[in-house]
């Protein structure tokens, strides 16, 4: 065949030809999933970094007061919560200064709420990518969670300043920091994946997200200590996965003694369940995303 010979004249073309015998084969078929997908996910890991890097870059470029905002938001919320729950409602704080108690709870909560809002809208805001290029779609909502880590780190610095100011020192338990970070990450990604997929499928779902975040802030122990929940309701209360995370943060940061282990276990199991169902639901919707977005 003429065209093939024409294509193979140059040495470069020969090189291509030879290389092709070792090239991996790819099969595209309806409903073809599984092994290939996870392999792809690994080979696209650089795109994951790049998208996360883009989100961080854009976030702090667009708003002049980007960093200021990351400082002001938790500080102002902390002041309001301290006044409302600590001073007006006179909630107990287990011997820890109330601002510190609130701030330790707000660290994971604010991470979760920004991560959730970012990742749930991430597919829609990247729809131009989704309809033009292939890559494992899981990259988009997960990489957008990473950008929330920047705000989280800024808040963490604030936390330390606050702790120094109040003379509260972390204990040996601080080594559990990564464990609870992972826990917070798992909750965020799990629920983020659910909402991202639902958001694509049902466009009015985006109205639900701010509601979840707002309501969640009050049903999670952000402004108060979860010890105020009556003992018989404690396990049920722990079905909110963020309860385990927030309690954990207070435990390793402030050295609170009465850590409620059954609740933490319950939170962890539910978090893993959330993550698992989130990933599998996302994977099921994934094939249709480009068609319906």
Binding site for other proteins (CB under 8 A): 1-4, 6-8, 10, 12-17, 19-21, 23, 25-32, 44, 46-47, 50-51, 54, 57-58, 61-62, 126, 128-135, 201-205, 287, 290-292
Instruction: Measure the CA angle with vertex 271, ends 287 and 94; round to 5°.
Output: 150
Residue 22 vs 232, nearer CB to other proteins: 22
Residue 21 vs 90, nearer CB to other proteins: 21
Burial of 123 (0-12, 13-18, 19+ CB in 10 A): buried
Rounded least distance, CB 46 to other proteins, Å: 6
Tokens 């919320």 belong to: 77
Consecutive H or E run containing 204: none
Give the span between the Cα atoms of 125 and 147, in whole angstroms.
15
| Segment 62-69 long-range contacts (CB within 8 Å, at least 24 positions apart) | 67/154
CA distances from 232 to 172, 220, 226, 240, 292 (A): 31, 17, 13, 15, 46
Residue 196 contacts residue 141 (beta carbons within 8 Å): yes
Residue 28 vs 88, nearer CB to other proteins: 28
Rounded least distance, CB 133 to other proteins, Å: 6
Rounded least distance, CB 52 to other proteins, Å: 11
Residue 269 vs 290, nearer CB to other proteins: 290
Rounded least distance, CB 136 to other proteins, Å: 10
Rounded least distance, CB 44 to other proteins, Å: 8
Residue 5 vs 231, nearer CB to other proteins: 5
Give the span between the Cα atoms of 146 and 52, in whole angstroms.
6
Residue 10 vs 214, nearer CB to other proteins: 10
Rounded least distance, CB 65 to other proteins, Å: 16
Give the span between the Cα atoms of 206 and 79, in whole angstroms.
29
Rounded least distance, CB 146 to other proteins, Å: 15
Give the span between the Cα atoms of 99 and 223, in whole angstroms.
9
Residue 43 vs 214, nearer CB to other proteins: 43
Give the span between the Cα atoms of 100 and 247, in whole angstroms.
13
């Amino acid at each position: 065949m003429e065209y093939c010979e024409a294509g193979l004249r140059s040495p470069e073309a020969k090189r291509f030809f030879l290389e092709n015998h070792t090239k991996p084969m790819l099969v595209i078929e309806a409903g073809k999933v599984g092994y290939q997908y996870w392999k792809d996910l690994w080979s696209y890991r650089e795109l994951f970094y790049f998208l996360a890097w883009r989100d961080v870059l854009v976030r702090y470029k667009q708003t002049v007061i980007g960093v200021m905002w990351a400082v002001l938001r938790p500080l102002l919320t902390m002041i309001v919560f301290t006044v409302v729950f600590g001073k007006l409602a006179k909630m107990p704080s287990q011997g820890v200064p109330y601002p510190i108690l609130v701030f330790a709870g707000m660290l994971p909560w604010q991470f979760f709420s920004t991560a959730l809002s970012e990742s749930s809208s991430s597919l829609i805001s990247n729809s131009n990518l989704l309809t033009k290029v292939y890559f494992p779609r899981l990259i988009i909502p997960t990489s957008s969670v990473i950008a929330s880590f920047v705000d989280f780190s800024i808040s963490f610095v604030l936390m330390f300043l606050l702790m120094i100011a109040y003379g509260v020192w972390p204990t040996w338990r601080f080594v559990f920091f990564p464990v609870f970070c992972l826990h917070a990450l798992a909750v965020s990604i799990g629920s983020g994946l659910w909402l991202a997929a639902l958001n694509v499928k049902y466009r009015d779902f985006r109205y639900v997200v701010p509601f979840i975040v707002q309501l969640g802030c009050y049903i999670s122990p952000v402004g108060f200590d979860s010890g105020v929940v009556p003992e018989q309701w404690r396990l049920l209360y722990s079905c909110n996965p963020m309860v385990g995370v927030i309690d954990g943060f207070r435990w390793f940061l402030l050295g609170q003694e009465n850590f409620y282990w059954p609740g933490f276990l319950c939170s962890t199991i539910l978090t893993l369940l959330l993550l698992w169902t989130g990933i599998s639901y996302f994977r099921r919707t994934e094939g249709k995303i480009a068609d319906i977005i």
